Structure 1
Amino acid sequence: MSVLEENPDSPLKKRPPRWSDIWLKKTKPLKHVVFAMQLQSLASKDPKSQTLIPHFANIDRTLLLSDELLLKILSKLPLSQRNPNSLVCKRWLYLQGRLVRSLKILDWNFLVSGRLITRFPNLAHVDLLNGCLFSPRNSGILLTHRMVSMQMRYGNCSNWELLEENLLPVEVVDGGLQALANGCPNLRRLMVINASELGLLTLAEECLTLQELELHKCNDNVLRGIAACENLQILKLVGNVDGLYCSLVSDVGLTILAQGCKRLVKLELSGCEGSFDGIKAIGQCCLMLEELTICDHRMEDGWLAALSYCENLKTLRLLSCKRIDLDPGPDEYLGFCPSLERLHLQKCQLRSKKSVRALFRVCEAVREVVVLDCWGLDNDMFTFASVCRRVKFLSLEGCSLLTTEGLEATVLSWLDLETLVVVSCKNIKESDISPALATLFCNLKELRWRPDAKSLLSSSLMGTGMGKKGGKFFKRT
C-alpha cells in the first residue's frame, strides 16, 4: 500500500467524492427529513412537546415560532393573502383574527353570542348599520339608500314603513352595544342606528379611546349619552331622512353635545333642526372644531350668523341643502370666520340672493371655493363671491347658469388666484374669453378647462406641454 493511500488527508491527493455525498447534496426532500429528525430529537428531550410533534413526517415548522413572532410575519403580508392564510390551520385562523381592525357586521347574533369578540379581539372600527336590520337572505328585492342597503320581502309599502318594520328594537341594539363595549375596550370608531342613551353611556364608560362615532336615527335624548364620550373627535349625526325615517335633533341636543364633547375636530349634522343658539353653543364650547358639514338642514332662519363663534373653523361644507338661510339678519350681526380656509357647496339650491350674499360674507376669509352641481348660481349670485379676496383655488362644476362674463367679473378681482377648474358649465363659452381673462390663464399655476364637450382650448394649447387627459396644467417656472 502506498503512502498516499495510507494518508487520505494528504494535500498531494484528495479523496474522490462519494456517490452518497452527491445524492444528498442535490436532493431537497432529504434535507427536510434531516430537519425533521433534528426537531424530533429536540422534542424527545422535552416530554411536554411530544404531544405537539407526534411524528416527524407531519411536522409544522411554524410551531417553533411564538405567537408574537408569527403575528409580526403575518402582518407584513399583503391584505389579499389574509383570507387564504386563515385557512391553513386553526392557529393561523386565530392569529389572523387578531390582525383584523375593521369589520362590518351583517349578523347581529354573531355579536351578541360573543363569537365576534372571540374571533376578532382587537377590533378598532365596527359598522353595525346593516346588522341592526332584519332582512331576508333569499329576497330578490334590494332597497338601496345613501345611508343603508337592505333586502325586502315585498315592495308595496313605503321605505319608512319598511325600515320601521325591519329595524331591531332599541333594547336589542343597546344589548349589542354593551357586548361590544365589554369585549372591545380599544374601540375607536363605531357606526350604529337606533341606539338609546343607555347604550351609548355604556359605550362611553368602557371605550375610553372612542374617537369617531356615526349615529343614525338620532334625537335629543340620545345626545345625552354621546356627551359622555369625552375623547370624541369626529361625530356624524343623522336625524331626519326624507323617505326613510324621522328623528328630531334641536338646539337642546346640540347644546348638550357641545357641553360634553369639547374635543370635537369634525362634526357633520345631517337632517338636523336647530337655530342660532345651537350653532353658537358648539362654537363657544368646541374650541378645537376645524371642520363642519351641514347636510339637508332644517334649521331656523338666522343660524348663519352663529358661524362667527367658530373661531378655529377651517372647512365649511354645505351638502344637499334646499335653502341656506332665508333671513340671515343685518350685516353687522353676521360677523365672519377668521380661520376659514375652505368653502364647499354641493347639490345646494342657491336661489335666494340674500342667503348667498350672507354666506360669502361670513366666509370672506376663505382660500378655496368649490361649487359642485348647485342650482341657481348665476352671474348675480357669483358676484357676491368677490368679497372673498384671498381665494387661491376655485372649482366650478355643473354651474349651467354662470356665463363667461360672470366668471370674469369675479376672478379678475382675486389677485391671489392660482388654480382654476371649470367643468360642465355650458354657458361659459371660449369665444367670450377676453384678453384680460386670457392673461389670467397664463399666470395661473394650474388650469382645468372643460366647460362643455365642444371645448377647443386644448387644440389651441398644443405644444405647451399641457395636453394631459382630464385636465390642462399651467406651471409657473
Structure 2
Amino acid sequence: MSHSPERNSNAKPPLERSSKLQQQQEEALKHVISKMQLLHSTVSSSPSPSSPLSDSDASLLPLDPPAPNSTALLSDELLLAIFSKLPLSQYPNNSLVCKRWLYLHGRLLQSLRILDWGFLDSGRVADRFPNLTEIDLVHACIRSPRNSGIIVSRKTVSLLVDSLFIPNNGGFIEEGDVLKSSVIDQGLGLIANWYPNLRRLVAIGASESGLRSIAEECQTLQELELHCCGDLALKGISQCKNLQIVKLIGCFDGFYSSVISDIGLTILAQGCPRLVRLELYSCEGSYDGIKAIGQCCQMLEELTLYDHRMDGGWLAALSFCTNLKTLRLKSCKSIDSSPGPDEHLGCCPNIEELHLQQCQVRDKQGMKALFSVGGAVRDVVFQDCWGLADDVFSIASICRRVKLISLEGCSLLTIAGLESVVLSWKELQRLRVVSCNNVKDAEVTPALASLFSVLKELKWRPDSKSLLTSSLEGTGVGMKGGRFFKRLKP
C-alpha cells in the first residue's frame, strides 16, 4: 500500500521511535528507584515517636493514591436497580456520596412532602425529582417557622409554631398565613405540567382552576386530599375519571374553616363515579349529599366520617350505598340526631365492618338506627367511646351475623351487659375486651366461660388486675384448633 508524501512527512523511522521510547522508560525507572531510595533513607533516619515530623520531613512522605471509583463503570440503570433494593431510610445518606448518586436518588424517589414553596416555584423540584408520583403541598402553603420544635396538632393536622406565638381569636392559622389561592393554583399548574403521571396529591386552599389543571393533565390521579376547600372548588376535579380515594377536610377549629355541604358532595359524586374510599372530616351535609354519593358512586366500599356535622336523617341515605363494606365513625359528637322511623332506614346489604372510635354513643335512638342500617355487619369495633353502657350495648343484638367484637376503653360496660349480647351471637368467633374496668373476672359466668373455650380468638384484658389472661396462657383456650382439656396420663 502506498502512502502520500504529505501524510508521512513528519513520520520518524521505527528504529528512532523505539530507541526514544526505551530511553523514556529508563528515565522513569531511574526516577522510581531514586524515590524509593529517598523513602528508605527517610524511614531509616526517622525521628522517635515522641518528636513530631517537620514540614520538610512530612513533604518527603508518599501520599496515598485516591481510591478508584468502582461504580463509575456501572450504568445508571444498573445503579438504580441496586438503589431500589435499599430501604428508604438509607436514601438521604447515599445521596450525599457524590453528585451522580444525588441525581440518581432524585430519579428514584417517588413521594415528596414539599416544605418550601420557593423550591416548587423556582422549578428546582422538577430538576431534582423528575419522577414523582405523590406530592404533599400543605406545609409549603402555610407560613410557619421551619426550625421550631413546637408542634400543635389537632386531629389530622399538625403545625409548627414559634415559642412567642399568641393565637388570635383562638386560631393558630390566620388568613394571611396561607398563600393566596391564585398562587397555589399557579403551583398546581406547574405540577400538572411536570408530573402527568401523578397518582396522589395533598393540597390546601386550592380553587377550581388549580384543580382543573390537575384533572386535565394528570389522568392517572387516584388519590386526592384537600384541606380548606369549599363546595365550588370541587368542580375542578370533575374530570378526574380515575379518582378512587378522596379525603375532604373542612372546618377545623383553631386551624382553618371551610364549608363542604350537600352541594360539594353532589358535585363530587357526579364528577368522580369511580370512588372506592371517601373520608369526610368536619364536613356538613345531610340525607341528600350521602344519597348522591350512594347513587353515583356504585363502587364505594369504605366511608369514613370524622367529627361529622350532618343534619338529622343522614343515616337513611346509607341504604343507597349498596356496595359499602366498611363504615367508620370517628370523634363524632352524635350519630344521628333525628334518624326517623325504622321503616325508612333501609340497610346496607354488603356491609362487613363497623368502627366507632372516640364517639358519643349515649343516644339510644341514633345507635338503634345505626345498627339497623348495618344489620348485616360481621365485625364491630368500639374504641374509647363515651356512653357505651349496658342498655346501649344491648342494641347491638340486632345484628345477628357478628363474628368479631372488639371493645377497648369502654368503662361503663359490665360483664352482664357483655354476656347478654355475645351469647345471642351464634356465629361469634373472636372476642377482644381491653381496658373495660367494670368487666370483672370474678363475675364471669359458666355460660360465658364455655363460650371462651370455643372461640378462635380471645383477647381478655379488661383491666390491669385481670387474672384470666395469665391463667389461660398455655391452655389453648381461644386458639384455633387448641384443646381445652387434656387427658392426664396415669
Instruction: Determine which of 260, 267, 270 is the counterpart of 2:281.
Output: 270
> Which whole-Å CA distance do the structure 2 matches of 1:451 and 1:309 have between them?
38
Contact 1:444 1:476 in 2 (8 A): no
**1:202-213 paired onto structure 2 within 5 Å:** 202-213=213-224
Residues 302-352 of structure 1, C-alpha deviation per residue, up to 9 Å, x if partnerless? 000000000000000000000111111111110100000000000100121
The aligned counterpart of 2:364 is: 353
Instruction: Determine which of 464, 468, 480 is the counterpart of 1:475.
Output: 480
The aligned counterpart of 1:18 is: none
Deviation at 1:80, TM superposition (A): 3.3
The aligned counterpart of 1:229 is: 240
Structure 1 pair 72/384, CA: closer, same or farther in 2 (3 Å)? same
Q: For 1:148, what is the secondary structure of its paired residue?
A: strand
My pick for the range that moved more, 147-156 or 191-200, is 147-156
> Which whole-Å CA distance do the structure 1 matches of 2:150 and 2:386 have between them?
33
The aligned counterpart of 1:41 is: none
Deviation at 1:137, TM superposition (A): 3.9
> Which whole-Å CA distance do the structure 1 matches of 2:414 and 2:312 have between them?
30
Contact 2:280 2:308 in 1 (8 A): yes
Deviation at 1:96, TM superposition (A): 0.9
Deviation at 1:66, TM superposition (A): 2.5
> Which whole-Å CA distance do the structure 1 matches of 2:265 and 2:473 have between them?
55
Please say if 1:105 is aligned against 2:114.
yes
My pick for the range that moved more, 144-153 or 266-275, is 144-153
Please say if 1:96 is aligned against 2:101.
no
> Which whole-Å CA distance do the structure 1 matches of 2:133 and 2:178 have between them?
25
Q: For 1:190, what is the secondary structure of its paired residue?
A: strand
> Which whole-Å CA distance do the structure 1 matches of 2:242 and 2:317 have between them?
25
Percent identity of the aligned residues? 62
Deviation at 1:161, TM superposition (A): 5.8
> Could you tell me the TM-score, scaled by structure 1's length?
0.84
My pick for the range that moved more, 230-239 or 154-163, is 154-163
My pick for the range that moved more, 138-147 or 382-391, is 138-147
Deviation at 1:216, TM superposition (A): 0.7
The aligned counterpart of 1:441 is: 452
> Which whole-Å CA distance do the structure 1 matches of 2:105 and 2:404 have between them?
45
The aligned counterpart of 1:86 is: 95
The aligned counterpart of 2:355 is: 344
**1:327-406 paired onto structure 2 within 5 Å:** 327-406=338-417
The aligned counterpart of 1:258 is: 269
Deviation at 1:88, TM superposition (A): 2.4
The aligned counterpart of 2:4 is: none
Structure 1 pair 156/260, CA: closer, same or farther in 2 (3 Å)? closer
Contact 2:298 2:321 in 1 (8 A): yes
Contact 1:141 1:155 in 2 (8 A): no
**1:458-469 paired onto structure 2 within 5 Å:** 458-465=469-476
Counterpart code for 2:138 = L
Q: For 2:365, what is the secondary structure of its paired residue?
A: helix
Instruction: Determine which of 264, 287, 290 is the counterpart of 1:279.
Output: 290
> Which whole-Å CA distance do the structure 1 matches of 2:311 and 2:83 have between them?
54
> Which whole-Å CA distance do the structure 2 matches of 1:142 and 1:458 have between them?
39
Instruction: Determine which of 332, 337, 354 is the counterpart of 1:321.
Output: 332
Contact 1:239 1:248 in 2 (8 A): yes
Deviation at 1:60, TM superposition (A): 3.8
Deviation at 1:145, TM superposition (A): 3.0
The aligned counterpart of 1:178 is: 189
> Which whole-Å CA distance do the structure 2 matches of 1:180 and 1:375 have between them?
44
Residues 35-76 of structure 1, C-alpha deviation per residue, up to 9 Å, x if partnerless? xxxxxxxxxxxxxxxxxxxxx978644333322222212222
Residues 60-104 of structure 1, C-alpha deviation per residue, up to 9 Å, x if partnerless? 443333222222122223333322322222222111100001111
> Which whole-Å CA distance do the structure 1 matches of 2:374 and 2:154 have between them?
32
Deviation at 1:134, TM superposition (A): 0.9
Residues 10-50 of structure 1, C-alpha deviation per residue, up to 9 Å, x if partnerless? xxxxxxxxxxxxxxxxxxxxxxxxxxxxxxxxxxxxxxxxx
Instruction: Determine which of 130, 133, 151 is the counterpart of 1:121.
Output: 130
> Could you tell me the TM-score, scaled by structure 2's length?
0.82
Deviation at 1:463, TM superposition (A): 4.1
Counterpart code for 1:296 = D
- The alignment's C-alpha RMSD in Å is 1.7
The aligned counterpart of 2:201 is: 190
The aligned counterpart of 1:30 is: none
Contact 1:141 1:154 in 2 (8 A): no
Q: For 2:173, what is the secondary structure of its paired residue?
A: helix
